Structure formats: structure tokens, C-alpha cells
Amino acid sequence: MKPIRLLDLGLVPPIRSQTIYHAVGHAMAADTPDTIILVAPDRPYVCIGYHQDLEREVDLDYCRAHGLPVTRREVGGGAVYLDEGQLFVQWAFHRSALPTSLEERFELYIRPLVETYQALGIAAYHRPVNDIHVAGKKIGGTGAAQMGDAEVLVGSLMFTFDKATMARVLKVSSEKMRDKIFESLEQYMTTMAEQLPALPDRATVRDLYLAKTAAALGREIVPGEPTAAELALAAELDERFVSDEWLYQKGNLRRAGVKIHEDVHVAEGAFKAPGGLIRATLRLRGGRIDDLELAGDFTLFPASAVADLQAAALGAELTREALTDRFAAAYRERAIEAPGVTPEHLAEAVLAANRAA
């Protein structure tokens, strides 16, 4: 097989640490090499998952006051504070170069990350579907998306992590809740700095990772440069990813100012599935779903999957059986992949919203 192109970009502006892999993925053509990008932001920022509602997940006033840029990625998962304490590892590969199922793609992507930690003396292991743990503590999560003709997988090698700021940038119901989040991060998240007597040199970690990746894939990895087309697209995405249109695209149902009367009301609820938190906001009319919005930190393929599932629920009765049948049909018809999120889980989120009405 052809060699894999390595784009080792060092420190870049926060937005470019996200837009570069989107640009490589969306610009991928038949002759584009499979690509691995290594990059880190030169200053802190906050990034939310593709399916999340910005105003619900992030304390925007705090971010503005502390000069923290906020962006949205096209990859699922949750809101996260990021800085140069992490080395981002981003794959943009042709679909034919990776396993067919999403679970198998995660396993292949995570393997060299785990083996890198192990070579450093950290007893890391893959915790399915897409996390890396050490003695029950998380040392990294991963995400995936389809971008044009590319399959994209992203994650990081965790040198350090600012847990206090992570807890602070999230929007929570009370300071007591914020304290509990920080306590949980302290208890259940870890880094190389916490696991090793001294932080390893970044070049050493990079070289270890590349060697483990080449072995896992059975392919040579060679240094390269972004193309002019990729850089041009990245520049376009730099502007798009900080635009209000992109950042505030979720939450339209709640902000629409729907007129409510005795037969119409809006409700919201949530359900924690193995694959992530599912938030459901629905408008009910005559006891049936008149409108539905799904959000959360889950992963769904293809990109249109959320819209397809929302449309499938329209007119449905508010029963577990009816909702599950509607969502299951959409899974089959649209070939939806959603690790850890089943039609039953989606039905539970909608029912939770109805119970809260």
C-alpha cells in the first residue's frame, strides 16, 4: 500500500488545530494520500461536539471574560477545554484503508495510542467503545466523522490537562454541581504528568507513536506538507467555524418562540446511553410529536443521521414501542451507525422529555 503522509504541524492557532483535519478530510480525492496530522494549539480554547447545543453546554460569559475562543467540530462527543498540554492525533484516511465497522475503526486507531502509553510505562488499555483508561481513569477519548470521501478519527496524547478550567467552562446548574464535576475529573481522569515521575520529551512521544502506528497499520509513514487546496479550505473553515451561524446551529426549537396553548407544549429531557448523553427537546401537539430536536455528546454516522431520526419521530405516539419502531426503521433505511446508542436509547430520551413536561 502507498505510504501514509505525516503532517507534523507543531503549534498552531486554536481554530487551525481543528480546521486542518476538516480541510484534509473534505479535500480528499482519489490521489490524496492517507494522512496523519500531529498538532497542538498555541493557546487555550473550548470546542464542542457536532451534535451539541452551545448555549446549553458552555459558559459563554466566562469564556469571553477569559479570552477563550469557542468553536464547534464536525466530530461527535462533548464540550472540552483544550490547550498545548495535549498533542492532537488526527487521521484522515480513505474508507478502503480502514475497517468497515466504526467499532473496528476505533480499535485500530486507539491501538497505537495505547501502545505508546505502555511503552512509556503507563498501563493504558482500550475501554470500548472509544476511550483509553489507566486503572479506571480516563487518559483520552476519541471521535470519528465522515468528511466527504474521508473517514476521520481524532484523539490526543495527554501530557497535562487543566481540570479546573475544564470544570469552569462548562455551563452547570449551580456551583455545587461545578464542584462535583471538578471532583469527578480529579478522581476519574489522568495524564502523563500524573502517571510518570517526569514528563517525557514530546519528540520522544511523537516518535514512539509513529513507530507504533506504522506497525499497527503495516505501512510506512513519511513526512509531507499540506497541499495548496487543503490550506485554502482550512482558511475558509477558520472563518466558518467561529461564525454565529455555525456555532448556534442547534437549539432552534427552543428559540423559535413557539406559541403554546392548551393542546401544544414544549418539553425537554435527557437519557445517558453507553455511547453518550442524549438530550431531547420536543414539541407535542395532541399527544403526538410535532417537532423534535436531538442533541448530545454521542457519535452518529452519517452526518444526516440526526435530521433523519428527528424526521422519523414526527407524528409518533409517545409510547416506547412506537418511538423505538420509528427510530429502528430509520437506522435500517439510512444505515445509521451509532456506537452505544440504540433506537431504544433514543426512545428513552424522548420519553424522559415527556415525563418532564
Rounded Cα distance, 101 and 205, in Å: 29
Neighbours of 83 (CB within 10 A): 18
Domain count, the chain: 2
Same domain, 52 and 194: yes
Neighbours of 326 (CB within 10 A): 22
Rounded Cα distance, 242 and 323, in Å: 36
The CATH number covering residue 313 comes to 3.30.390.50
pLDDT tens per residue across all 357 residues of the chain: 899 999 999 999 999 999 999 999 999 999 999 999 999 999 999 999 999 999 999 999 999 999 999 999 999 999 999 999 999 999 999 999 999 999 999 999 999 999 999 999 999 999 998 999 999 999 998 999 999 999 999 999 999 999 999 999 999 889 998 999 999 999 999 999 999 999 999 999 999 999 999 999 999 999 999 999 999 999 999 999 999 999 998 665 543 333 344 467 778 899 999 999 999 998 888 889 999 999 999 999 998 999 999 999 999 999 999 999 999 999 999 999 999 999 999 999 999 988 865
Phi, psi of 8 (to 5 degrees): -95, 95
Rounded Cα distance, 348 and 342, in Å: 10
* List of residues 6+ apart from 345 with CB closer than 8 A: 271, 273, 274, 275, 278
Phi, psi of 239 (to 5 degrees): -80, -40
Same domain, 179 and 44: yes
Long-range Cβ pairs for the range 59-66 (8 Å, 24+):
59/168, 59/169, 59/170, 59/171, 59/172, 60/171, 62/168, 62/169, 63/169
Rounded Cα distance, 227 and 238, in Å: 16
Same domain, 256 and 240: no
Question: What residue numbers bound the domain in which 269 lies?
Answer: 252-355
* List of residues 6+ apart from 119 with CB closer than 8 A: 208, 212
pLDDT of residue 1: 82
Same domain, 227 and 292: no
pLDDT of residue 258: 38
Same domain, 73 and 211: yes
Instruction: Check if the beta carbon of residue 126 is closer than 8 Å to that of residue 114.
Output: yes
Handedness of CA 10, 12, 18, 21 (dihedral sign): negative
Rounded Cα distance, 63 and 148, in Å: 32
What amino acid is encoded at 145 in this protein?
A: A
3-state secondary structure of 168: helix
pLDDT of residue 257: 31
Domain boundary, last residue among 209, 224, 247: 247
Instruction: Check if the beta carbon of residue 57 is closer than 8 Å to that of residue 177.
Output: no
- pTM as predicted: 0.87
Neighbours of 3 (CB within 10 A): 13
Same domain, 233 and 319: no
* Distance of alpha carbon 17 from the chain centroid: 14
Domain boundary, last residue among 247, 281, 312: 247
Same domain, 235 and 263: no
Rounded Cα distance, 76 and 326, in Å: 23
Neighbours of 127 (CB within 10 A): 16
Same domain, 167 and 298: no
pLDDT of residue 265: 74
Same domain, 119 and 34: yes
Residue in the structure block whose three cell numbers are 506538507:
225
Same domain, 73 and 204: yes
The CATH number covering residue 68 comes to 3.30.930.10
Same domain, 238 and 177: yes
pLDDT of residue 283: 87
pLDDT of residue 25: 98
Same domain, 59 and 149: yes
Domain boundary, last residue among 221, 247, 273: 247
